[in-house]
């Protein structure tokens, strides 16, 4: 296993990355010398949302890329994020702001079911059809969102916020309790995804082989899609659509520390949390005005990704 032959370089970089991640979190919480009330009531909730979002997106990306044997696979490509955003925007635009996470849920689940059905060919699951179906369904929901935005001028800013990603939501105390409850559920879902790592490793050697060692591949795929849709529904309804984390973090993780899915999953999750925290810190402080965090993740993510590709 490649993971057991870590070079000294890789051994050295691990604690370094961990330390800089913790440094980013410290900066995020204490920058500008805020008082205790602001740290505990504003910054810690925002950090919690940021880390949950980063972990979930990166973890799902790592699972999808392996399961679908497609380096491009991530929640956005599969349309699930747009579906979730549509559900949550729809409820938000009719005034049910408290219920937006459930709209996100419902939207993500519905999209997932639709994409899943479209990806079946004569009763068999077809990987390339899945990506195609995802792109088309995603485009459909994106245009539906544009329509709501056009008809509902009052909500334009709120909708743009969801489309470009925003971690600066203000929680009321009851909303915060609901978020904590949903976070608990998300962590359980993440643990479930983590526990499927070995089965996913085996599945990447081919469906026939996986079936021969006793893995029910249809059931596994279905369970993973349901789990990840639930996770995405929550994340999108709170943080909006944030791209690149789900795509890039698992790739970087595999490039720096090649290994099995268990390791990739863990490193991607932690990396995703740190990466998004750093991006949101920049979004808050790089300009006088707070920038949409999705713009920052794309602006840092792309060049870094290209650099890593060229380095190889």
Partner 1 sequence: MSLLSKTIILMLALLALSSCQGSRKNDSNRFVVLSPELAELIVALGAEDMIVGVTSECDYPVSLRKLTQVGNFGSVDLEKVVSLNPSIVFASALEQESIALNLKKLGLRVESSYPGSLDDMLSEILRIGSLVSREKEAQALYVSLREDIRLIREQATGKPQPKVYLEIYKDPLMSVADQSFVGELLETAGADNIFNKLERDYSRVKAEDVIFLQPDIMICYSQDSLANIKARKGWQNIPALRNGMVFFEDDIHPDLIQRAGPRSIQGLQKLAEIYDLWRQKR
Among residues 16, 157, 191, 310, the one that binds partner 1 under rule CB under 8 A: 157
Q: What angle do CA 72, 297, 279 make, to 5 degrees?
A: 140
Place of tokens 């380095």: 311
* CB burial string 211-234: b at 16+ within 10 A, e below: eeeebebeebbeebbbbbbbbbbb
Smallest distance, partner 1 to C-beta of residue 237, A: 12
Kindly state the helix (H) or strand (E) to which residue 120 belongs, with its residue range. strand 120-121
Smallest distance, partner 1 to C-beta of residue 240, A: 10
Interface with partner 1 includes 37 (CB under 8 A)?
yes
Among residues 4, 122, 153, 219, the one that binds partner 1 under rule CB under 8 A: 153
Place of tokens 């790089």: 286
Q: How many whole angstroms separate alpha carbon 257 and alpha carbon 268?
A: 10
Site for partner 1 in 87-116 (CB under 8 A): 97
Interface with partner 1 includes 289 (CB under 8 A)?
yes
**Which candidate, 81, 239, 102, places its Cα nearest to that of 168?**
239
Interface with partner 1 includes 151 (CB under 8 A)?
no
Among residues 41, 124, 128, 216, the one that binds partner 1 under rule CB under 8 A: 41
Q: How many whole angstroms separate alpha carbon 288 and alpha carbon 24?
A: 20
Smallest distance, partner 1 to C-beta of residue 154, A: 9
How big is the site for partner 1, counted in residues (CB under 8 A)?
Answer: 28
Which residues, in sequence order, are bridge partners of residue 121?
A: 124
Q: Nearer Cβ to partner 1, position 1 or 36?
A: 36
- Phi–psi pair at 298, nearest 5 degrees: -70, -40
In this chain, which stretch among 134-142, 203-211, 221-229, 284-292 interacts with partner 1, using CB under 8 A? 284-292
Interface with partner 1 includes 21 (CB under 8 A)?
no
Interface with partner 1 includes 38 (CB under 8 A)?
yes
Binding footprint of partner 1 on the chain (CB under 8 A): 34-35, 37-38, 40-43, 45, 97, 153, 157-158, 161, 166, 168-174, 176, 284, 287-290
């Amino acid at each position: 296993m490649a993971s057991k032959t870590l070079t000294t370089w890789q051994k050295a970089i691990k604690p370094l990355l961990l330390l800089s991640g913790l440094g980013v979190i410290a900066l995020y919480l204490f920058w500008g010398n805020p008082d205790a009330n602001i740290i505990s009531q504003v910054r810690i909730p925002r950090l919690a949302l940021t880390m949950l979002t980063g972990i979930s997106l990166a973890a799902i990306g790592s699972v999808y890329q392996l399961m679908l044997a497609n380096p491009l696979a991530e929640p956005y490509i599969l349309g699930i994020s747009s579906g979730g955003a549509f559900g949550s925007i729809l409820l938000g635009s009719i005034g049910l702001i408290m219920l937006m996470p459930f709209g996100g849920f419902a939207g993500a689940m519905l999209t997932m079911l639709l994409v899943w059905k479209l990806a079946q060919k004569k009763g068999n699951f077809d990987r390339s059809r899945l990506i195609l179906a995802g792109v088309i369904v995603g485009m459909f929901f994106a245009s539906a969102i544009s329509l709501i935005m056009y008809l509902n001028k009052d909500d334009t800013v709120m909708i743009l916020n969801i489309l470009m990603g925003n971690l600066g939501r203000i929680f009321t105390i009851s909303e915060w309790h609901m978020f904590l409850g949903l976070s608990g559920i998300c962590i359980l879902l993440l643990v479930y995804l983590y526990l499927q790592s070995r089965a996913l490793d085996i599945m990447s050697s081919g469906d026939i082989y996986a079936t021969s060692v006793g893995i029910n591949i249809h059931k596994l795929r279905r369970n993973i899609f349901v789990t990840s849709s639930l996770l995405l529904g929550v994340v999108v309804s709170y943080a909006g659509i944030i791209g690149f984390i789900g795509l890039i973090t698992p790739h970087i993780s595999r490039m720096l520390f090649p290994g099995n899915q268990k390791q990739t999953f863990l490193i991607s999750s932690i990396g995703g949390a740190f990466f998004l925290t750093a991006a949101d810190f920049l979004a808050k402080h790089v300009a006088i005005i707070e920038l949409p965090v999705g713009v920052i993740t794309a602006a840092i993510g792309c060049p870094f990704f290209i650099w890593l590709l060229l380095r190889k």
